[in-house]
A and B are shown apart, each in its own frame.
Chain A
């Protein structure tokens, strides 16, 4: 019944919620032929809903109700699929459209859980992510989803080596796309991180000067947010050096 309703109204909270309630109230039924586990019946119902939600996400890849519902199914399903399967799912979504921030978001959550559970080697998998995100940056440097994910990947405790490498990757892209706001904005962000975290090992004054020049350029090409750029400039003057 709710399937028809969801097709017409894919963003109505109540319909999704009712579907949740139905799933939670499925009794342990007769085991299907050839299956000993009485939960097989339940598993089939949850599996079917995972399929339904995938159909919904094929239609609208950003529907956050569908993503929430997907996370809910994955956390409740009697026999969950391997976490790496979900990682592959987000990658398929991302590769078909780099602008799908919902998929990047889901990917960040899955990776965190895989890293903390030890199911995936963090440093190796990070390097793979950097490769993926660099491809995405070069494909569409104007897409903010990609830059937000990149910021997550670099994180707050990056090594100097990673920061400098990423600054160099972005500088190369900027040379090709001299008006790319996201290149400029990200360069400021990572250079400030270098100044703040590795003050004694870097030329802080030179980096500060570079940030100033980048912020001036940003104010010109992105005047809507010029107040923010001005605030960062005064923070640079007051704190960073």
Chain B
């Protein structure tokens, strides 16, 4: 393995500072992803064993300030319209912070269920854009709330089946090209719904293993550049299929570690680029799945702490690599 190590204290500090820089332009430019960003930050902290680094009360208050009372869901930022992406992040955060008592569960369940389309897929909001990402958000959220019976599971599974391509992968909608992130959302949904039989596991694990490039990093589609975020999308799907050994984890670890910013903290999409909380989250998530020492176990189906998911009785039959000793 490379001599580089994961600089946990520096990354924790990086995430803590994100919330404080609201005078910077980037802060306002990314308002449409703010609630998601809080989830990425919290998930990364949980993986690194520093959940307490962000104030629990403040975080819950921020989540609740994004509630769109008219729609019955969460927007990405206070006064933004409710969207399934931010609603899923809000529910994940409230579950991780053990604060579901703050949530009007019947209303939010109603909001999520109302977005399912006749085809079985979900729209992200009332404007109607459809995507298997939104289907995953709905399945993940409803499952965390114990309300999967409020959606048409059979139709959702059929939709995913129709998104499956000859290479074993899945796309954003019927007819779309296979993409590793869409593979994660489809395989994750099928795992939650106990319908992994819909996957062509041999072909898919072949396609996923071919995402690893000579640099050790993973790409999202054939002949594309490697990117740290695929460390999670590809690895989560492989671990759900129990095939994590199909990539070289030593080389992947070196690649992720080389994308750290050694001064300011955080992880970038690839070495030398600007860091962000999205890649910091999925970089550490990938490291956890391949057994990097000193990290907490991550549930690849929900992208949340494994212990918590297990305690809720939601653990599926995935397998991560054994945690290495420091």
List A residues at the B interface (Cβ < 8 Å): 13-14, 17, 20-21, 62, 64, 67-68, 71, 99-102, 105-106, 108-109, 143-145, 148, 151-152, 155, 223-225, 227-228
Are A228's CB and B209's CB within 8 A?
A: yes
Are B210's CB and A144's CB within 8 A?
A: yes
Are B246's CB and A148's CB within 8 A?
A: no
Are B172's CB and A64's CB within 8 A?
A: yes
* Given contacts A64-B177, A228-B209, A144 and B248 within 8 Å (CB-CB): no
Least distance between B204 CB and chain A CB atoms (Å): 12
Stretch at the interface among B55-63, B216-224, B285-293: B216-224
11 contacts between A and B (CB under 8 A): A21-B128, A68-B176, A101-B223, A152-B166, A152-B167, A155-B166, A224-B248, A225-B212, A227-B246, A228-B205, A228-B209
Taken together as a complex, chains A and B put the C-alpha atoms of A148 and B203 apart, in Å, by: 11
Taken together as a complex, chains A and B put the C-alpha atoms of A67 and B212 apart, in Å, by: 24
B258 within 8 A of A: no
Are A224's CB and B251's CB within 8 A?
A: yes
* Given contacts A71-B175, A225-B209, A13 and B223 within 8 Å (CB-CB): no
Picked from B175, B177, B178, B223, the residue with its CB within 8 Å of the CB of A99 is B223
Are A68's CB and B166's CB within 8 A?
A: no
Are B209's CB and A223's CB within 8 A?
A: no
Least distance between A118 CB and chain B CB atoms (Å): 20
Are A68's CB and B246's CB within 8 A?
A: no
* Given contacts A17-B127, A223-B248, A224-B248, A109 and B175 within 8 Å (CB-CB): yes
Are B223's CB and A64's CB within 8 A?
A: no
Taken together as a complex, chains A and B put the C-alpha atoms of A64 and B171 apart, in Å, by: 10
Residue of A nearest to B214 (CB): A224
* Given contacts A17-B127, A62-B221, A228-B206, A105 and B246 within 8 Å (CB-CB): no
Are A62's CB and B224's CB within 8 A?
A: yes
Picked from A20, A67, A143, A155, the residue with its CB within 8 Å of the CB of B176 is A67
Most buried by A among B127, B176, B243: B176
* Given contacts A68-B172, A109-B175, A152-B167, A224 and B221 within 8 Å (CB-CB): no
Are B179's CB and A225's CB within 8 A?
A: no
Are B167's CB and A20's CB within 8 A?
A: no
Are A225's CB and B172's CB within 8 A?
A: no
List B residues at the A interface (Cβ < 8 Å): 32, 127-129, 131, 165-167, 171-173, 175-179, 205-207, 209-210, 212, 221-224, 243, 245-248, 251
Residues of chain A within 8 A (CB-CB) of B224 are 62
Are B173's CB and A68's CB within 8 A?
A: yes
Taken together as a complex, chains A and B put the C-alpha atoms of A67 and B179 apart, in Å, by: 13
Taken together as a complex, chains A and B put the C-alpha atoms of A108 and B248 apart, in Å, by: 31
Are B245's CB and A148's CB within 8 A?
A: no
Residues of chain A within 8 A (CB-CB) of B178 are 105
Least distance between A214 CB and chain B CB atoms (Å): 15
Residue of B nearest to A143 (CB): B223
Residues of chain B within 8 A (CB-CB) of A228 are 205-206, 209, 243, 245-246
Taken together as a complex, chains A and B put the C-alpha atoms of A121 and B128 apart, in Å, by: 38
Residues of chain B within 8 A (CB-CB) of A145 are 222-223
Residues of chain A within 8 A (CB-CB) of B246 are 225, 227-228
Are A64's CB and B166's CB within 8 A?
A: no
Residues of chain A within 8 A (CB-CB) of B171 are 64
Taken together as a complex, chains A and B put the C-alpha atoms of A101 and B207 apart, in Å, by: 13
Are A148's CB and B172's CB within 8 A?
A: no
Residues of chain B within 8 A (CB-CB) of A148 are 167, 207, 222
Are B212's CB and A151's CB within 8 A?
A: no
Residues of chain B within 8 A (CB-CB) of A62 are 221, 223-224
Are A224's CB and B223's CB within 8 A?
A: no
* Beyond known contacts A14-B32, A151-B166: 20 more, CB 8 A cutoff: A21-B127, A62-B223, A67-B176, A68-B173, A99-B223, A102-B221, A145-B223, A148-B167, A148-B222, A152-B167, A155-B166, A224-B212, A224-B247, A224-B251, A225-B246, A225-B247, A227-B245, A228-B205, A228-B209, A228-B243
Taken together as a complex, chains A and B put the C-alpha atoms of A106 and B166 apart, in Å, by: 12
Residues of chain B within 8 A (CB-CB) of A14 are 32
Least distance between A81 CB and chain B CB atoms (Å): 17
Least distance between A166 CB and chain B CB atoms (Å): 16
Residue of A nearest to B243 (CB): A228
Residue of A nearest to B248 (CB): A224
Taken together as a complex, chains A and B put the C-alpha atoms of A203 and B205 apart, in Å, by: 29
